[in-house]
Structure 1
Amino acid sequence: MLSAVVYLTLGSLLAASIQRRSLKFYVLAIAVLLSLIVGISRVYLGVHYPTDVLAGWIAGLVWALLCWLVARWLQQRHKVETE
């Protein structure tokens, strides 16, 4: 869960500040890939059950989306800089 929270949150917030669409996709793809690799390695090493990893991915995705929504809300209200 922690890897999903960290990588997906950083990826979504970083992508929000990038203008080029292809670079946004690249940043988000790397964040998702890193999260997937960590989760799959946890199952492969026998440290977690697949359902544990799936729940961690979902919780991390929800957290990243909430952070992205809050950042977008603050930007729209001019509480933080957009660039």
Structure 2
Amino acid sequence: MKALIETIVASLVDHPEDIVVTETEEDTKIVYHLTVNQEDVGKVIGKNGRIAKAIRTVVYAARTDAKKRIYLDIM
């Protein structure tokens, strides 16, 4: 899942080397924390959060464990 997030975001940002995705797993959920360069945050979030919502939709659809919810935090 990390590779999927990095691949999607790398095509959107000017500084793909600054992409960091960390994973936190609990009993009922998995949280991915996406950190990008400060200049690229607006590009990842998009106007009215549309790009962020689209990224989350793809990530949620690609989940392999149906028992755990997946969350994506963009920082």
More strand per residue: 1 or 2? 2
Instruction: Point out which structure has higher relative CO (alpha carbons under 8 A, 6+ apart).
Output: 1
Structure ID, larger Rg:
1
Q: TM-score range by the shorter chain?
A: 0.3 to 0.5
More helix per residue: 1 or 2? 1
Q: TM-score, normalised by structure 1?
A: 0.34
